[in-house]
Amino acid sequence: MTAPARTKTSVPPQSSGSPTIWIDGEWCERGSATVSVYDHGFLYGDGVFEGIRVYGGRIFRLEEHLDRLYDSAKAVWLNIPMDKEELAGVTREAVSRSGIAEAYIRHIVTRGVGDLGLDPRKCPKPSVIIIVDTIKLWPEQMYETGLNVITAGTPIPQRESLSPRVKSLNYLAHILAKVEGINAGADEVLMLDSAGSVAEGSGQNVFVVKKGRIRTPPAHAGILKGVTRDAVIELAADAGYPVEQTILNRYDLYTADEAFFTGTASEIVGIRQLDGRVIGTGKPGPVTRDLRSRFHALVRS
Ligand code: PMP
């Protein structure tokens, strides 16, 4: 069966919101957006990606996300075959064509099409894909109640094997951790590094609040350096909360007044319980709620 033909770049922007996909210079619709089974992103997870939010038609921190995408690619010897400004331009066009004001953008850069061997030299050209669609991780009510979280037995990948700073297409460790949480009936998981220190959620960074002080693991602790995390650190500092980036243990979460996750898709979401220990009052606390409303103001500003 042949893949449905893709539409060329001359297609006029859509007026009503619908998913819009760009693959190596061609605009596609969801049903016709296909990649080769010989693409090494598909065969081996050989590639990198980004996730970005659009609020009211405006892209939140595009530059920071693209910086991270190009750094991730560089770290795995992947040359993105277009420069950042060009990719930013196509990204903006994709958002405007989609007509989705509250969107989620996914950038994917794969090693490209090769043969069945690992050797990336067999892949002459990396593939660049942009998807503009919507995303919703948690129902609104979860932001009121906070999440029930367990610690996953699966640690984050060893830093010297594949740096967690690289947002790579290898998410299996995080997916296994997520499934552990699902099997246990939890809303989300906390992942540790192989030494047992607190790292991150399955797709979020983690913060604790104790006596008005905010703490989060440092970027070098083996986490993805979240764009939302960085925005929250700035907002917290502006609001006068002392913020410290330091190694955390689960004890620090069990005994915190508040704990919360941050991420592009989930924004800021409180943790009400970890491994059966109720955190603080058992619902998102005042600092979490304050930062959440400051974050909402920031993304709409
Ligand atoms: N850690 C992991 C493993 C993630 O996948 C994400 C989501 N990108 C984050 C943290 C949060 O990063 P950001 O705030 O940039 O979305």
> Is it the case that residue 8 has pLDDT exceeding 80?
no
Q: The whole model's pTM is what?
A: 0.94
pLDDT at 216: 98
Residue 176 backbone phi and psi in degrees, to 5 = -60, -40
pLDDT, mean of residues 219-228:
94
- Residue ID of nearest Cα to ligand 1 atom 12: 226
pLDDT at 155: 95
Candidates 167, 178, 210, 211; catalytic one: 167
b/e code 95-117 from CB counts within 10 Å (16+ = b): bebbbbeebbbebbbbbbbbeee
Please state the atom number of ligand 1 nearest to the C-alpha of residue 265.
16
The pLDDT tens digits of the residues spanning 77-122 come to 999 999 999 999 999 999 999 999 999 999 999 999 999 999 999 9
Residues 6+ apart with CB under 8 A from 170: 45, 157, 162
> Is it the case that residue 7 has pLDDT exceeding 70?
no
Which two three-digit tokens encode residue 171?
A: 């998410």
CB distance 114 to 91 below 8 Å: no
* Complete domains list, the chain, with CATH: 20-133 (3.30.470.10), 140-300 (3.20.10.10)
Band of the pLDDT at 16, cuts 50, 70, 90?
low
Taking the C-alpha atoms of 191, 196, 197 and 200 in order, what is their torsion angle to the nearest 10 degrees? -10
Q: Does 8 qualify as catalytic in the annotation?
A: no
Q: How far apart are CA 220 and CA 103, in angstroms?
A: 30
- For all residues of the chain together, what is the average pLDDT? 94
| Gap from CA of 144 to ligand 1 centroid (Å) | 22
The pLDDT tens digits of the residues spanning 130-145 come to 999 999 888 999 999 9
Which two three-digit tokens encode residue 21?
A: 């996909």
Which of 188, 200, 224, 225 best tests ligand 1's pocket when mutated (most atoms within 8 Å of CB)? 224
Computed over its alpha carbons, how large is the radius of gyration of the chain? 20
